[in-house]
Amino acid sequence: MKRLFLQKPASVIILMVFFSLAAGCGDSTATQINNTSIYSQSANWLSLPSVIDKPVDVFYLYPTEYQKTDPNQPDICAIDNPSMIQGAKSAFARQATAFQPVGNIYAPYYRQLALSTTMTSEEREQMVSGIPTTFATEAFDYYIKHYNNGRPFILAAHSQGANILSYMLAGYLKNNPSLYKRMIAAYVIGYYVTPDYLAKNPHLKFAGGPDDTGVIISYNTEAPDVDNSKNILYEGPGIVINPITWTRDETVATTAQGIGSFMPDPNGVFVQVPQYADARVDRGKGVLICTTADEDALYPITAPLGRGIYHSFDYPFYYYNLQQNAANRTNNFLKNWPGSNLK
């Protein structure tokens, strides 16, 4: 995200359009070389803490940042693609940093899908579940075996990253139940967590309030007048929790109830501002409704998706509310965690 209140979007702005929807095909380059994981190399990590000073970790997957500049380029980028790396760093700064007061943040680079609006939902899901999920899962496995040291952890992601995280929760975490017991929460934001998904994965549960742990947190933000039949992101209706009140009913949470947003100033620098966005769960649509955002001011950024689709602001609108909630769930988890003194 570059400038919030300037008239003209730049190429960097387009990088902040975070799709959980993407399409493509690419080579199946292995996640290991000579039987050694590529994640043994620090160059393949966006964030790899050198000092472990907190009792819990955060494992973060960034949204779609790879942008094709030539139609002949592959739809799935290399792990060292320069545009993806640049965009991933920017996404980290306005999303993952919400969790810095809570945990040691680990974030891998992964081969991801380019933006596309031409494939069906089923085709996109098939693509997302392939190479991107394979690489992200390999990174998580390496993190668990070499860096985690038995600490509890938070999973956090957005858009394509959240889509991948949904596959990891249904696969890797399901196959490792003892590991799942160490999961404080999974912030699957900017991707639709549906009742059907939970029915197929009964080991998972959705958050019911601000305090429960081992749960999924998810929402997708939009203005009240959005027609989701024209929203290429829409995979719902999803299950939604209000990121201000942390309830699932349809009561409006006003800006007076929030503790702050993280928005760009006219120079593109992200700063804390008073709560910019209100929040209301719309159970019929299965989305989070925001009425206080200025659709016209934000349109230079939301235009690629459509007016009033606040996908790019899922984290910034509720940044400090997410930060407080992650700390709250962590504190509740550690109260009953026998290894809470781990560093």
* DSSP assignments along 20-71, one per residue: S-EE-------SEETTEEGGGSGGGEEE--SS--SSSEEEEE-------SST
**Size of the chain, expressed as the number of residues it contains:** 343
Domain that holds residue 100: 11-335
How far from the centroid of its chain's Cα atoms is residue 276's Cα?
A: 20
Decide: 322 and 219 in contact? Cβ < 8 Å: no
* DSSP category for residue 237: P
pLDDT at 28 over 80: no
Confidence of residue 340 (pLDDT cuts 50, 70, 90): low
Q: Residue 91: inside a domain, yes or no?
A: yes
Q: How far is CA 327 from CA 2, 96, 106, 274, 323, in A?
A: 28, 14, 17, 20, 6
pLDDT at 232 over 90: no
Q: Residue 263: inside a domain, yes or no?
A: yes
- If one counts every other C-beta atom within 10 angstroms of the C-beta of residue 131, the result is 23
Provide mean pLDDT across the span 143-162: 97
Torsion 289-295-297-299 (CA) sign: positive
Alpha helices in the chain (DSSP H): 11-15, 82-94, 121-128, 131-143, 160-170, 172-175, 177-180, 195-200, 295-302, 319-335
The residue with tokens 């094709």 is: 68
Confidence of residue 343 (pLDDT cuts 50, 70, 90): very low
| pLDDT for residue 127 | 81
* DSSP category for residue 310: -
pLDDT top residue among 24 and 308: 308
How far from the centroid of its chain's Cα atoms is residue 50's Cα?
A: 23
Q: Residue 2: inside a domain, yes or no?
A: no
Is the peptide bond between 338 and the residue preceding it cis, with omega within 30 degrees of 0? no
pLDDT at 3 over 80: no
pLDDT at 331 over 90: yes
Number of domains in the chain: 1
Q: Residue 284: inside a domain, yes or no?
A: yes
Q: How far apart are CA 206 and CA 218, in angstroms?
A: 8
Report the mean per-residue pLDDT for the chain.
88
Q: Residue 5: inside a domain, yes or no?
A: no
Share of the chain above pLDDT 70, in %: 88
| pLDDT for residue 304 | 83
Provide mean pLDDT across the span 153-164: 96
Q: How would you classify the pairing of strands 153-158 and 183-189?
A: parallel
pLDDT at 116 over 90: no
Decide: 29 and 292 in contact? Cβ < 8 Å: no
| pLDDT for residue 238 | 95
Decide: 179 and 173 in contact? Cβ < 8 Å: yes
How far from the centroid of its chain's Cα atoms is residue 320's Cα?
A: 15
| pLDDT for residue 222 | 96
pLDDT at 141 over 70: yes
Provide mean pLDDT across the span 309-333: 97
Tell me the three state secondary structure of residue 18.
Answer: coil
Provide mean pLDDT across the span 310-321: 97
Supply 20's token pair. Answer: 């959980």
Q: Residue 182: inside a domain, yes or no?
A: yes
User: What phi and psi, each to the nearest 5 degrees, are found at residue 154?
Assistant: -110, 140
Q: Residue 4: inside a domain, yes or no?
A: no
Supply 217's token pair. Answer: 């947190």
Q: Taking the model in full, what pTM does it have?
A: 0.90
Of 30-39, 80-89, 261-270, 277-286, the one with minimum mean pLDDT is: 30-39
| pLDDT for residue 7 | 29
Per-residue pLDDT of 235-290, as tens digits, reads 889 999 999 999 999 999 999 999 999 998 888 888 999 999 999 999 999 999 99
Residues 32, 35, 40, 44: what is their CA dihedral angle, to the nearest 10 degrees? -20
Q: Residue 162: inside a domain, yes or no?
A: yes
Burial of 237 (0-12, 13-18, 19+ CB in 10 A): middle
Q: Cα–Cα–Cα angle for 191, 196, 198, nearest 5°?
A: 75
pLDDT top residue among 93 and 233: 93
